[in-house]
């Protein structure tokens, strides 16, 4: 079985197939989204679809390079890569170029590159490296804090670049920590806090606290077993009440106006289809008007005539929804879920903890992008400008996801060689 001479031995064909399917779907939909009569050729290099082909070709080169590199390199140099990346993130704050309000780009010639995209795989590597050490125990506070530091250091730097979306992606690593033993109740707590956050914005905070109080009393009355833990329950109730009050405060005083607006539009508290809500409104119209089987390739009117903003990047899902209909969106979601599940399966079959943890990191990051991006275009999440992996136009994004994924494919291909 082992053939160390052939670098393509043992690579996972399912993942490769899914990768190329997604990249292809992305490319033709970028073509459809940006298509105009003057530039009909999909190979026209002056257009986004032509450029995307360059990104795809160079991605393939990146894949080959990754396959050529000794797998051990990634675990050995993971901290180095991580630290270099942190330095780059600091550098971009100092000498970076500002595009659309975010100072997160390096301009090299006519190309711009966004380091934040690459920080994800670096963080995934460092986290995998740290958690895979024999003496590390996630249940210990020290470990939690250090892992947290690895995750949030780059996130904080990205936040300083005013790229909130990319910074939020690092929350995805919570799934990795969960898999490695972080208490599930922390995930549940996070979920409950999120729900309470939304409810606090939707419902009058005092009514909400009242409802919680009634709920707490009901728990006492109906459940004898829990009655003994009244201290904890009362404490939880009081914490929830304080949280609800502080959410209101935080929302009004900490969030930036455009972020507040986006959340208000999403929650239906603010109707403004021509202003703040315009993007989402047009995006939902585009997808909704696709119907069951779509309007047909290159026949989307919403995307073709620029009603949907950022159609080749963050809102690429609209083009798919409009032109390919429910059939298209369903198939795309199926492809993503297949890839995610495949990644979990691959991660679980790793002998090395490093590879497994890294694999979960890859799955978590891709999942977060997938959930937030599509959720945003169909009006289930506030507008957070992060790309749809492998599909959205953009060199940094495609390269970064390619590197992220194929390091894992490489690690997986040599899983038998390692201990």
Partner 1 sequence: MRRNLSGRKYIIIAIFIVVAVIFVARLLYLQVIDDSYLLSAENNVLRKNTIYPNRGLIYDKNGKLLVYDEAAYDLMVIPRKVKTIDTVEFCSLLGITDSVFISKMTKAKKYSRYKSSLFLAQISKEDFGFLAEKLYKYPGFFVRSRSLRKYPKPIAAHILGYIAEVNNNEINTNPYYSSGDYIGKSGIEKFYEKELRGKKGVQVVMVDVHNRQQGSYKNGKYDSIAEAGKNLYLTIDADLQEYAEKLMVNKIGSIVVIDPKTGGILTFVTSPTYDPNLLVGRVRSKNFQMLMKDSLKPLLNRAIMGTYPPGSTFKVVNALVGLQEGVLHEGTSYSCNGPQTTPIRCTHHHITPLQLKMGIEQSCNPYFWNVFRSIINNPKYNSVEKAFGSWRKDVTSMGFGKKFNTDIPFEKPGSIPTLDLYNKIYGKGHWNALTIRSLAIGQGEILVTPLQMANFSAVIANKGFYYPPHLVTAIGSKENKIPRFHEKQMTEIEEKYFDVVQEAMLNVFEGEHGTARWSKLEGVKIGGKTGTVQNPHGKDHSMFIAFAPVGDPKIAMSVIIENSGYGSTWAAPIASLLIEKYLNDTIVRKHIEKRMLDGNLISRE
Question: Rounded to the nearest whole angstrom, what is the least distance from the CB of residue 394 to partner 1 in the complex?
Answer: 22
CA angle 82, 99, 101 (to 5 degrees): 95
Closer to partner 1 by CB, 306 or 417: give it: 306
Min. distance of Cβ 182 from partner 1 in angstroms? 10
Please name the helix (run of DSSP H) or strand (run of DSSP E) that holds residue 99, with its range, or none.
strand 97-99
The answer to whether 260 and 267 are in contact (CB under 8 A) is no
- Exposed, middle or buried: residue 270 (CB in 10 Å: 0-12, 13-18, 19+)? middle
Phi, psi (5° rounding) for residue 99?
A: -125, 125
Q: How far apart, in whole angstroms, are the C-alpha atoms of residue 108 and residue 102?
A: 17
CB of 329 to partner 1, least distance (A): 5
Q: How far is the CB of 281 from partner 1 (least distance, A)?
A: 9
Output the CA torsion sign for 73, 74, 79, 83: positive
Closer to partner 1 at the Cβ: 46 or 305? 305
Nearer to partner 1, 88 or 176 (CB): 176
Dist. CA 391–CA 26, nearest whole Å: 4
Beta bridge partners of 112: 107
Q: What are the CB-based long-range contacts (under 8 Å, 24+) for 53-57?
A: 53/27, 54/395, 55/394, 55/395, 55/398, 55/399, 56/23, 56/27, 56/398
| 110: Cα separation from own chain's centroid | 27
Reference 409, options 19, 4, 3; nearest CA is: 19
325: left (phi over 0), alpha (psi -120 to 50) or beta: left
CB closer to partner 1 out of 90 and 333: 333
Q: Which is nearer to partner 1, 367 or 406 (CB)?
A: 367
Q: Which is nearer to partner 1, 19 or 324 (CB)?
A: 324
CB of 92 to partner 1, least distance (A): 31
Cβ proximity to partner 1: between 76 and 293 the closer is: 293
CB 132 → partner 1: shortest distance, Å? Answer: 13
Q: How far is the CB of 15 from partner 1 (least distance, A)?
A: 15
Tokens 């997938």 identify what position? 370
Closest CA to 347 of 412, 407, 406, 410: 412
Measured distance CA(163)–CA(170) in Å, rounded = 12
- Tell me whether residue 165 or residue 325 sits nearer to partner 1 (CB atom): 325
Q: Which residues pair with 99 in a beta bridge?
A: 102
Least spacing, CB of residue 410 vs partner 1, in Å:
21
The minimum distance between CB 408 and partner 1, in angstroms, equals 15
Q: Is the CB of 354 or the CB of 360 nearer to partner 1?
A: 360
Residue 179 CB, shortest distance to partner 1, in Å, is 5
| CB closer to partner 1 out of 204 and 293 | 293
What is the C-alpha separation between 211 and 206, in angstroms, rounded?
9
Measured in whole angstroms, how far is the alpha carbon of residue 179 from the centre of its chain?
18
Question: Distance between CA atoms of 302 and 217, rounded to whole angstroms?
Answer: 52
Q: Which residues bind partner 1 (CB under 8 A)?
A: 137, 175, 178-181, 184, 282, 284-292, 301-302, 304-307, 321-322, 325-326, 329-330, 333-334, 336-337, 340-341, 344, 347-348, 360, 363, 367, 370-371, 374-375, 378-380
């Amino acid at each position: 079985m082992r053939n160390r001479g052939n670098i393509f031995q043992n690579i996972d064909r399912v993942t490769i197939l899914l990768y190329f399917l997604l990249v292809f779907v992305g490319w033709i939909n970028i073509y459809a989204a940006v298509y105009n009569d003057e530039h009909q050729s999909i190979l026209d290099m002056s257009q986004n679809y032509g450029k995307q082909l360059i990104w795809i070709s160079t991605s393939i080169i990146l894949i080959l390079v990754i396959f050529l590199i000794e797998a051990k390199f990634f675990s050995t140099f993971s901290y180095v890569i991580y630290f270099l990346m942190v330095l780059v993130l600091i550098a971009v704050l100092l000498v970076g170029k500002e595009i659309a309000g975010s100072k997160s780009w390096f301009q090299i010639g006519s190309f711009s590159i966004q380091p934040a995209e690459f920080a994800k795989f670096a963080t995934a590597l460092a986290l995998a490296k740290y958690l895979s050490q024999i003496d590390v125990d996630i249940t210990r506070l020290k470990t939690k804090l250090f892992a947290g530091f690895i995750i949030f250091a780059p996130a904080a730097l990205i936040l300083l670049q005013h790229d909130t979306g990319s910074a939020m992606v690092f929350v995805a690593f919570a799934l990795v920590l969960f898999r490695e033993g972080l208490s599930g109740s922390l995930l549940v707590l996070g979920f409950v806090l999120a729900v309470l956050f939304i409810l606090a914005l939707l419902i009058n905070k005092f009514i909400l606290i009242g409802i919680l109080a009634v709920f707490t009393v009901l728990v006492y009355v109906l459940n004898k077993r829990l009655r003994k833990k009244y201290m904890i329950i009362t404490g939880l109730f009081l914490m929830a009440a304080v949280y609800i009050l502080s959410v209101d405060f935080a929302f009004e005083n900490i969030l930036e106006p455009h972020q507040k607006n986006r959340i208000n539009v999403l929650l239906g508290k603010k109707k403004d289809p021509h202003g703040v809500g315009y993007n989402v409104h047009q995006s939902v119209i585009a997808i909704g008007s696709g119907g069951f089987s779509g309007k047909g390739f290159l026949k989307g009117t919403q995307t073709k005539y620029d009603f949907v903003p950022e159609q080749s990047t963050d809102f690429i899902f609209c083009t798919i929804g409009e032109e390919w209909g429910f059939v298209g969106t369903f198939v795309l979601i199926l492809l993503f879920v297949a890839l995610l599940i495949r990644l979990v399966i691959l991660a679980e079959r790793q002998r090395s903890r490093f590879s497994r943890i890294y694999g979960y990191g890859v799955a978590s990051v891709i999942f977060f992008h997938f959930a937030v991006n599509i959720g945003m275009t169909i009006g289930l999440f506030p507008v957070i400008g992060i790309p749809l992996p492998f599909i959205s136009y953009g060199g940094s994004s495609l390269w970064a996801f390619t590197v992220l994924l194929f390091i894992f494919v490489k690690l997986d291909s040599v899983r038998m060689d390692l201990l």
